[in-house]
Amino acid sequence: MKVRVLGSAAGGGFPQWNCNCRNCTGVRRRTLRATPRTQSSIAVCGRDGRSWALINASPDILAQLRASPALQGTAVPRDSAIGAIVLVDGQIDHTAGLLLLRESGRPLAIWCTDEVCADLSHGYPVFGVLAHYCGVERRGIVPDGSRFAIPGVTGVLWRALAVAGKPAPYSPHRDAPVRGDNIALIMEEESSARTIVYAPGVSAMQEDLWQAMQGASAVLVDGTFWSDDEMPALGIAHKRARDLGHLPQSGAGGMLEWLGRLPADSRRILVHVNNTNPILDEDSPQRAELDRRGIEVAWDGLEIEL
C-alpha cells in the first residue's frame, strides 16, 4: 500500500491568496525558508500499484494531479487512475475539487457518511450540480470502526471512526456537531496487517482513535494550528483552534503530547497545516521542537510505502 500526500495545507493553502501573515508574506517574497503547499488531500494506492482512491477532492486538485503522473490513467482516450473518492468531511477544502472532476466518463464513486452526503446535497449541493455532468454514485460510510473494502483499490481494508470536529458553516449542525460530520480513516494493508491512520480534522483525542494510532505504522494527523489562540493572536480571526474543530499541537493535552506517547517506530506526520502555523517556517523554534520530537511536517508529494 502506498499513500501520496497531494496537498498538505489546510483550507486556503499556503500562501493564502489574501493573507499577509508573517508566513504568507515570507513565502511570497522568498524571505522565509518555507515551501508553498496546496490544500488538504491524499491518495491511496492498492496492491496492484495501478488504481488509486482519492481521499478528499481539494480546490487544488488539477495542479495536484498534474504533479502526480501515477494518477493519470492511460488505457483509453480519456482516463484516470482514480477509482474512488473518499471524503472525511464536507468542507470546501475537501470537496470543491469534486466540481473540477465533472468531465469524468463515468459517475464519480464517492464514499462519505450520511451527514456529509446531506451537506453536499442541500447546504452546498455539489452532488445535485454533478448530476448534470458525470453524476455521482454515492457509497455510504458508517463511521463505527467496521471494516469495508473499496472496489478497485485492491489489498486495502478500510475503517472509519467518527471524530470530534466541526462541520462546514452550511451544515445544519454547525453549532452542535453530530457523529459522522468528521471522520478519521484507517487504511490496512491486507497482506501485512500494517495500518496508516489519516485524521486531518480532530478537535479532541478519543479512545478509539488513540487505539488506532498506537497500532499504526504511520499517522497523518491534524497539524492545523500550533496554538489554540493562533488566529486571535495574529488579529486574523476571533475563533480559537478548538472552536474551529482542530486540536492545537502545543499546550496541555495538545497533539505533541499525544504523538510523544506513540511507539518509537511509528511515523508521526502533521497534515492539514494552516498557513499561520509557525512550523511552516523551517527556521522557527517550533519546527526545531518537532525535529527534536521526531515529528514530520507533510509536504506536497510526500509518499509513504508500507
* 54 near Zn ion, judged by CB under 5 A: no
- How near is the Cβ of 70 to ligand MLT at its closest, in Å? 26
Nearest CA to 298 out of 95, 35, 22 is that of 35
Q: Which of 3, 6, 9, 19 binds Zn ion (CB under 5 A)?
A: 19
The per-type count for the chain, helices as H runs and strands as E runs, is 9, 13
State the DSSP code for 130: H
Q: Which of 1, 5, 6, 11 binds Mn ion (CB under 5 A)?
A: 11
For the chain, state the CA radius of gyration: 18
**CB atoms inside a 10 Å sphere around CB 288:** 12
- How near is the Cβ of 273 to Zn ion at its closest, in Å? 11
Nearest CA to 220 out of 261, 182, 184, 168 is that of 184
Cis geometry, peptide bond prior to residue 15 (ω within 30 degrees of 0)? yes
- How near is the Cβ of 30 to ligand MLT at its closest, in Å? 25
Nearer to ligand MLT, 13 or 143 (CB): 13
- How near is the Cβ of 50 to ligand MLT at its closest, in Å? 31
Nearer to ligand MLT, 182 or 217 (CB): 182
State the DSSP code for 180: T
* 298 near Zn ion, judged by CB under 5 A: no
**CB atoms inside a 10 Å sphere around CB 30:** 8
Applying CB under 5 A, the site for Zn ion has a residue count of 5
Nearer to ligand MLT, 83 or 143 (CB): 143
* 119 near Mn ion, judged by CB under 5 A: no
Q: Which stretch binds Mn ion (CB under 5 A): 8-16, 126-134, 214-222, 250-258?
A: 8-16
With cell 470537496, the residue in question is 95
Nearer to Mn ion, 244 or 304 (CB): 244
Binding string, residues 260-289; x marks residues near Zn ion by CB under 5 A: ---------------x--------------
For 78, residues 6+ apart whose C-beta sits below 8 A from its C-beta are: 103, 105
Nearer to ligand MLT, 185 or 262 (CB): 185
For 230, residues 6+ apart whose C-beta sits below 8 A from its C-beta are: 241, 248, 274, 276, 277
Q: How far apart are CA 277 and CA 291, in angstroms?
A: 15
112 and 87 Cβ atoms separated by less than 8 Å: yes
Question: Regarding beta strands 2-7 and 195-199, do their DSSP bridges make them parallel or antiparallel, or are they unpaired?
Answer: unpaired
* 212 near Zn ion, judged by CB under 5 A: no
Q: Which does 24 bind (CB under 5 to 8 A by kind): Mn ion, Zn ion, ligand MLT, none?
A: Zn ion
- How near is the Cβ of 96 to ligand MLT at its closest, in Å? 9
173 and 118 Cβ atoms separated by less than 8 Å: no
Q: Which does 97 bind (CB under 5 to 8 A by kind): Zn ion, ligand MLT, Mn ion, none?
A: none
Chain residues in the site for Zn ion (CB under 5 A): 16, 19, 21, 24, 275
Q: What are the residues binding Mn ion (CB under 5 A)?
A: 11, 91, 93
